[in-house]
């Protein structure tokens, strides 16, 4: 992932979420179609992409797509 | 959501069949392209074919995307698509079950209408009538080890677990009894895996053994629920775990309280999908097997009868295992057929004379050995057996033959047995294509009956007229009120029969039992026999009384006994019964499906008149009929008819 837009693309293509770049900074409660189950799926997708472990506990604490990106890219 | 599991089908044969060539683009890439274009609903028949070719992570990705789709959008575009409502309840977080279940059902072309209950909501959701679960086509109560361990204090001893297990199993037994009394569809339970993260906390082996024994005893009690209640299916997770699926994924377990691993949920979803398939009447009936390198090692034409490997050698033992598995299927009502590119006489000699052959000619409903394309042989066999090709599973070692059948007959399930023959059995069994909730007496003798049918058809060709033939056939029909022993078979007939099925209303055993117990209802079993033997319980007629007369709710007849006047004998009996009991008229409904065109004119043929045709515009697939009882319908003279409309056991 180069930037948060890659994560947005991943959410659209792998999880089927209708998200756009504008949703990156939104609180996850305000992101259309968001549900905590997406984080559970996302961790596998992110780990496969990054080739390393990403903390699920931290991802579950994240409040926006931007924060998720930062955790995954860190 | 309370709709019955009816595969309402308007056979829109103009369904999109945009050809997507495998090989040009991977199935997943094609699927993702359709998703990106927002065309998953519009192209659902193509989507189904693409998904059928996926597995593992790819299938899961497709499932996640498909689970975002509204089933109603698909039904608007393709009204013939069968849909199943599934209530998901249990102890842990179960939202991760929806994607794999959506994907597994999509492989079979079945749409999922899921309702996921609340965390740990199973006690309430199963005991509250009308809470949704009782109205679903299938109710899944997903049990996990934390049902027990969440309530065990620390420190604990094996006897604490014993006590809690007894409590929980008693609770589930109570819930099951209450639920099955109220529910339409079956309840699906499962055994609970015993995690090492608990057994290993006991440091002495004596305690560990005690815990293990108590745990297995509790699981055995759960499994016994599936043998005692006709409305309960218990999925044993042990065989899935034994294949190497992890029971637990620590992170989703600890952080999300999803107590069964996503991989185990995916394997569980695969098992459930075959129950769903059965619920919409799409269980497979025929296993068509190639011979060379599928049922035996070697090429019969080159190696000769003595040269093929069917036992004894390393590879021979592998093929013997395949033959034994096929024979086991055959003994339970799966029709075995051999479809091979070979000389017929040599194949016949191999099956008859090879001393070590497990499968013999009589195990097959038909052995087809010729040089025709296999899809043509399969289509011909389907016509001869009077079943749809969509009830076929085809297994072959050749990529060419598999590809050709997939391409020409996409509704056939194809199992490619490439690779090591030691793996063939596992591949044959990977999907429960033939799974049913329970077997009936009919299943045990099905091959024999269908073979008899093929003999009857030869016999028929020796007569000049159909009347002569029917007289010589010496048909007996017995029409009787359904008894407890008939319930499973009557349910199965509503589930398996697609052609002679007036409304395609599928009924679970519990639903048949409820109707049989209702004093307003008339549930009749149809049995027939002829000079070639007993056909068994071949049909059912369901009706109920109202103030204006007797209403026929459905009439199903096995395709084995079509065109013998049996339907006329049944209708004549019901009309006479209506007249004798003072009913003013008899009403009937025909609901068109993709496959029941054969009975479209059944009611008018026997003196019923169409009613309500003027306001039928909003339901073009449904036609209502009325018989005023002014004229008498005679039972055909060639049929010996016995009628017992009173139940022997009330």
Residues B237 and B244: their CA atoms lie apart, in Å, by 11
- Residues A35, B95: C-beta atoms closer than 8 Å: yes
- Residues A60, B256: C-beta atoms closer than 8 Å: yes
The CA angle B42-B45-B49, to the nearest 5 degrees, is: 130
Residues on chain B touching A16 (C-beta within 8 angstroms): 35, 64-65, 67-68
**Among the partner residues A15, A41, A56, nearest to B251 by beta-carbon distance:** A56
- Residues A40, B252: C-beta atoms closer than 8 Å: yes
Residues B543 and B516: their CA atoms lie apart, in Å, by 10
Residues on chain A touching B61 (C-beta within 8 angstroms): 14
Cα A65 → chain centroid:
5
ipTM of the prediction greater than 0.85, yes or no: yes
Residues B367 and B375: their CA atoms lie apart, in Å, by 15
Is domain A4-73 given the CATH code 1.10.10 in the classification? Answer: no
Q: Give the tens place of pLDDT for each residue, A1-57.
A: 889 999 999 999 889 899 999 999 999 999 988 988 999 999 999 998 888 999 999
Mean pLDDT computed over every residue of chain B: 90
- Residues B96, A36: C-beta atoms closer than 8 Å: no
Put simply, whether A43 touches B (Cβ < 8 Å) is yes
- Comparing C-alpha atoms, which of B137, B280, B275 is closest to residue B594? B280
Q: Is B127 exposed, middle or buried (0-12, 13-18, 19+ CB in 10 A)?
A: middle
* A and B: number of Cβ contacts within 8 A: 39
Q: Of how many residues is chain B composed?
A: 650
Q: Give the tens place of pLDDT for each residue, B438-462.
A: 888 888 888 888 887 777 776 666 6
Residue B36, min C-alpha distance to chain A (Å): 7
- Residues B64, A41: C-beta atoms closer than 8 Å: yes
- Comparing C-alpha atoms, which of B323, B296, B298 is closest to residue B310? B296
Place B466 in a pLDDT band, splitting at 50, 70 and 90.
low
| Angular region, B2: left φ>0, alpha ψ -120 to 50, beta rest | alpha
Residue B625 has pLDDT above 90, yes or no: yes
Residue B268, min C-alpha distance to chain A (Å): 18
Residue A4, min C-alpha distance to chain B (Å): 19
- Residues A17, B256: C-beta atoms closer than 8 Å: no
Cβ distance B190 to B90 under 8 Å?
no
Going from N- to C-terminal start, the domains of chain A cover: 4-73
Q: Give the tens place of pLDDT for each residue, B141-190.
A: 999 999 999 999 999 999 999 999 999 999 999 999 999 988 888 999 99
Query: Strands B533-546 and B549-557: what pairing?
Result: antiparallel
Cβ distance B103 to B52 under 8 Å?
no
Residue B202, min C-alpha distance to chain A (Å): 28
Question: Residues B389, B391, B395, B396: what is their CA dihedral angle, to the nearest 10 degrees?
Answer: 0
Cβ distance A37 to B96 under 8 Å?
yes
Residues on chain A touching B32 (C-beta within 8 angstroms): 13
What are the CA-CA distances from residue B521 to residues A13, B376, B440, B515, B597 (Å)? 52, 45, 23, 6, 27
- Residues B68, A37: C-beta atoms closer than 8 Å: no
- Residues A43, B251: C-beta atoms closer than 8 Å: yes
Tracing tokens 């595969």 back to the chain, one arrives at: B7
If you ran DSSP here, which 8-state letter would residue A28 be given? G
pTM for this predicted structure:
0.78
Cβ distance B445 to B537 under 8 Å?
no
């Amino acid at each position: 992932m180069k930037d948060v837009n890659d994560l947005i693309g991943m959410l659209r293509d792998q999880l089927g979420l209708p998200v756009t770049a504008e949703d990156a900074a939104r609180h996850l409660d305000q992101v259309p179609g968001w549900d905590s189950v997406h984080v559970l799926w996302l961790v596998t997708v992110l780990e496969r992409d990054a080739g390393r472990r990403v903390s699920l506990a931290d991802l579950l604490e994240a409040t926006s797509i931007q924060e998720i990106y930062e955790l995954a890219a860190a | 959501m309370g709709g019955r599991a009816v595969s309402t089908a308007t056979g829109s044969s103009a369904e999109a069949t945009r050809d997507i060539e495998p090989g040009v683009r991977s199935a997943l890439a094609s699927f993702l392209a359709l998703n990106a274009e927002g065309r998953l609903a519009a192209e659902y028949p193509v989507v189904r074919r693409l998904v059928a070719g996926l597995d593992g992570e790819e299938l899961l990705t497709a499932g996640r995307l498909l689970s975002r789709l509204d089933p109603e959008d698909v039904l608007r575009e393709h009204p013939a698509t069968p849909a199943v409502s599934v209530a998901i309840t249990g102890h842990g977080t179960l939202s991760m079950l929806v994607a794999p279940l959506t994907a597994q059902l999509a492989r079979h072309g079945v749409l999922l209408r899921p309702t996921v209950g609340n965390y740990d909501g199973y006690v309430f959701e199963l005991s509250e009538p009308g809470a949704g679960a009782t109205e679903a086509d299938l109710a899944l109560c997903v049990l996990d080890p934390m049902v027990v361990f969440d309530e065990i204090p620390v420190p604990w001893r094996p006897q604490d677990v014993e006590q809690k297990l007894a409590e929980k199993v008693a609770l589930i037994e109570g819930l099951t009894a209450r639920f099955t009394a109220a529910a339409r569809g079956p309840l699906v339970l499962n055994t609970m895996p015993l995690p090492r993260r608990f057994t290993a906390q006991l440091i002495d082996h004596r305690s560990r053994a005690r815990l293990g024994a108590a745990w297995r005893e509790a699981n055995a009690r759960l499994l016994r629920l599936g043998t005692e209640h006709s409305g309960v299916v218990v999925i044993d997770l042990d065989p899935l775990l034994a294949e190497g699926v992890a029971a637990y994924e620590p992170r989703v377990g600890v952080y999300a309280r999803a107590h069964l691993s996503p991989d185990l949920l995916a394997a569980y979803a695969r098992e459930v999908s075959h129950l769903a398939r059965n619920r919409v009447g799409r269980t497979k009936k025929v296993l068509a097997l190639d011979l060379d390198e599928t049922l035996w090692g070697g090429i019969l034409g080159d190696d000769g009868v003595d040269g093929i490997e069917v036992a004894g050698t390393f590879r021979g033992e592998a093929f013997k295992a395949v033959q034994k598995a096929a024979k086991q299927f055959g003994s339970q009502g799966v029709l075995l057929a051999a479809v091979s590119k070979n000389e017929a006489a040599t194949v016949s000699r191999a099956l008859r004379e090879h001393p070590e052959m497990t499968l013999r000619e009589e195990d097959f409903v038909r052995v087809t050995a010729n040089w025709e394309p296999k899809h043509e042989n399969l289509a011909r066999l389907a016509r001869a057996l009077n079943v749809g090709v969509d009830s076929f599973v085809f297994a072959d070692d050749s990529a060419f033959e598999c590809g050709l059948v997939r391409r020409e007959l996409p509704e056939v399930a194809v199992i490619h047995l490439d690779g090591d023959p030691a793996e063939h059995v596992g591949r044959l069994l990977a999907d429960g294509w033939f799974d049913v909730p329970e077997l009936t007496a009919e299943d045990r003798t099905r091959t024999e009956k269908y073979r008899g049918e093929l003999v009857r058809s030869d016999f028929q060709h020796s007569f000049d007229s159909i009347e002569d033939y029917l007289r010589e056939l010496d048909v007996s029909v017995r029409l009787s009120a359904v008894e407890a022993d008939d319930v499973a078979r009557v349910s199965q007939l509503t589930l398996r029969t697609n052609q002679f099925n007036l409304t395609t209303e599928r009924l679970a055993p519990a639903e048949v039992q409820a109707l049989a117990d209702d004093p307003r209802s008339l549930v009749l079993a149809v049995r027939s026999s002829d000079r070639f033997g007993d056909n068994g319980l071949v049909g059912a007629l369901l009706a109920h009384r109202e103030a204006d007369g007797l209403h026929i709710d459905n009439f199903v007849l096995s395709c084995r006994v079509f065109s013998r006047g049996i339907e006329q004998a049944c209708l004549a009996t019901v009309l006479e019964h209506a007249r004798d009991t003072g009913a003013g008229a008899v009403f009937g409904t025909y609901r068109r499906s993709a496959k029941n065109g054969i009975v479209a004119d059944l009611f008018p043929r026997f003196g019923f008149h169409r009613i309500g045709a003027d306001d039928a515009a909003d339901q073009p697939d449904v036609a209502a009929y009325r018989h005023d009882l002014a004229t008498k319908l005679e039972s055909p003279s060639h049929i010996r008819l016995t009628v017992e409309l009173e139940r022997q056991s009330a």
